Structure 1
């Protein structure tokens, strides 16, 4: 039976931990065995909780929700139907804002890469790229199911919002830099052009945050996908850019990126997806690298300067901006952006 969600909500009156403690006690387990997990840039709170004879992970949301239209549950149903390797949903208590899911452990692919051999890292990367192709192969299924992911898109408005977010939080919040009127005007013209170019590209189903912190290596050494609730339609390069470039302290070489792009195109075709010209794909990849890395830098700037999480995120800002400058240079576009970012990179040395 689906629990209805109130039309107005004035707060739970209890913290996320207190609500979850009540849930755990009602289930006959010990609340003192709960462990808070480090959240990413999210309004959700995560806990590891006792579950029968094992453990589970509980996501606690700030408000109650309708499970029929909840983005995470909607995309879970879509991804599960497509055979994608996601955690199993164990329980949903919508009126308390709680979703309990399979515990995949703590081995993020990002951490596994740190100690993996060259051969192991290559294998994991190729498997991750195959998962992107699998997600794109579910594009038609998303539309057939009328999933929320098929009704959201990286359209011009969404891409522009993310670029505006970067301008606000990198220059104003993080650097405390007031752009001159002419500088900001030129920058916004370039950002509008970037958003327009990318929004006009053919769209496929995207995870939206397909970086190595959102890929778990489970106890059987299988890759599992998490944090997919923001899935939406976007350029075919989107998730590949995120996997290869997002949160990289040292970006991969040009040769490696080219090899990964070609491998991905082969995997797309192996799944019966339409062929994409490699040169056209490379051009889109560079455009997408500019937008995605600016978006990431904006998020990391906010988390550092506003949310007080600089110990987690500040280290990624500079590498993201170096990738932006490099990609814009290859495209021979966005001179105002390049000038402003180069000035910031020099002053931060």
Structure 2
């Protein structure tokens, strides 16, 4: 991974001239990350977000908001928005997902801290200018399933009207409760975007697409993880922890919303991972599709989602679900 051509001049302007630039990571967007190592200043992260594809201003705004609330987003050391470059605080190498995969962390304790961090986030005021996670936004996301997933498997003549109607049948209560008490939703709050910091606590990554939405969304993102299995017993304990610590009075209603948000998110991800394969040439995301179907089927089993389950039962047989992706595991 070659550093951006403007990186040396950018680092000179930041006072980090002569630093070594090492490849660090990319993600599902156009953003790329490099580790910068300087003999005097230590380490930082260079974020390359090409301005023709990515707008870094939301990242900056949310990072500064989180920092002001006592939450740990990477502090911004230098910026050049025209070049699409940011120099960020380096949180180190202890990303939660690899740490747990190596058997080096206490999964229950880490997830409890992640839940408590969400509670703290939701107690903070919403930053100005954050768009709502409303019905239009939710619909655009689930449409990825009929736009990308089903066509990729050769399904033609998709009944989009009945698909829309199934979702419209289950939205109203969730939308009313969201409008009554919106919170900041980071939208990709899971083990691959959480860092174990040297000083303790969790560092937050990948929050530039934050919206004002339902308190259950990021909890679903954490506990129904697209990239790693979370044991259902741990999920249940952490969900109960969140309900208790958030002071939620109607647990059954919250759980129904949680399962609907899970269905929305997981169906969306099925579409996104297919799009990453078909449009962006990234087939490695397909290995997650069987897990996603397992989550979707668990979501649809909730009685409040019966209209949605009926649509999937009628239109998406097993051959188009997990069975279609076994070869990619």
Common fold, TM-score beyond 0.5? yes
Shift of 1:289: 0.8
Residue of structure 2 equivalent to 1:156: 135
Residue of structure 2 equivalent to 1:56: 44
Shift of 1:197: 4.8
Indicate whether 1:215 and 2:188 are aligned.
no
Indicate whether 1:336 and 2:311 are aligned.
yes
For structure 1, which runs of at least 5 residues remain unmatched after alignment? Answer: 1-14, 270-274
Residues in 2 aligned to 1:88 and 1:137: alpha-carbon distance in whole angstroms: 21
Give the direction of change, closer, same or farther, for the CA distance of 1:341–1:323 in structure 2 (3 Å limit). Answer: farther
Residue of structure 1 equivalent to 2:283: 310
Shift of 1:348: 4.1
Residues in 2 aligned to 1:190 and 1:251: alpha-carbon distance in whole angstroms: 28
Residues in 1 aligned to 2:17 and 2:29: alpha-carbon distance in whole angstroms: 27
Instruction: Describe how 1:248-327 pairs up with structure 2 within 5 A.
Output: 248-253=227-232, 255-269=233-247, 275-311=248-284, 313-327=285-299
Provide, for residues 278-302 of structure 1, a one-character-per-residue CA deviation record: whole Å limited to 9, x for no partner: 1111111111110011122222111
Shift of 1:224: 0.7
Give the direction of change, closer, same or farther, for the CA distance of 1:247–1:29 in structure 2 (3 Å limit). Answer: same
Query: Are the aligned partners of 2:79 and 2:86 in contact in 1 as well (CA < 8 Å)?
Result: yes
> Helix, strand or coil for the counterpart of 2:195?
strand
Q: TM-score, normalising length from structure 2?
A: 0.86
Which of residues 63, 66, 73 is equivalent to 1:76?
63
> Helix, strand or coil for the counterpart of 2:212?
strand
Provide, for residues 194-245 of structure 1, a one-character-per-residue CA deviation record: whole Å limited to 9, x for no partner: 4555333322221111011110112345311111112211111101000001
Residue of structure 2 equivalent to 1:4: none
Query: Are the aligned partners of 2:113 and 2:201 in contact in 1 as well (CA < 8 Å)?
Result: no
Which of residues 205, 209, 222 is equivalent to 1:230?
209
> Helix, strand or coil for the counterpart of 1:17?
coil
Residues in 2 aligned to 1:82 and 1:28: alpha-carbon distance in whole angstroms: 29
Shift of 1:128: 0.3
Give the direction of change, closer, same or farther, for the CA distance of 1:46–1:344 in structure 2 (3 Å limit). Answer: same
Indicate whether 1:114 and 2:101 are aligned.
yes
Indicate whether 1:129 and 2:107 are aligned.
no
Give the direction of change, closer, same or farther, for the CA distance of 1:113–1:122 in structure 2 (3 Å limit). Answer: same
Residues in 1 aligned to 2:325 and 2:80: alpha-carbon distance in whole angstroms: 47
Shift of 1:248: 4.2
Aligned length: 314
Indicate whether 1:193 and 2:169 are aligned.
yes
Query: Are the aligned partners of 2:169 and 2:307 in contact in 1 as well (CA < 8 Å)?
Result: no
> Helix, strand or coil for the counterpart of 1:57?
strand
Give the direction of change, closer, same or farther, for the CA distance of 1:249–1:221 in structure 2 (3 Å limit). Answer: same
Give the direction of change, closer, same or farther, for the CA distance of 1:98–1:344 in structure 2 (3 Å limit). Answer: same
Residues in 2 aligned to 1:103 and 1:338: alpha-carbon distance in whole angstroms: 47
Q: TM-score, normalising length from structure 1?
A: 0.82
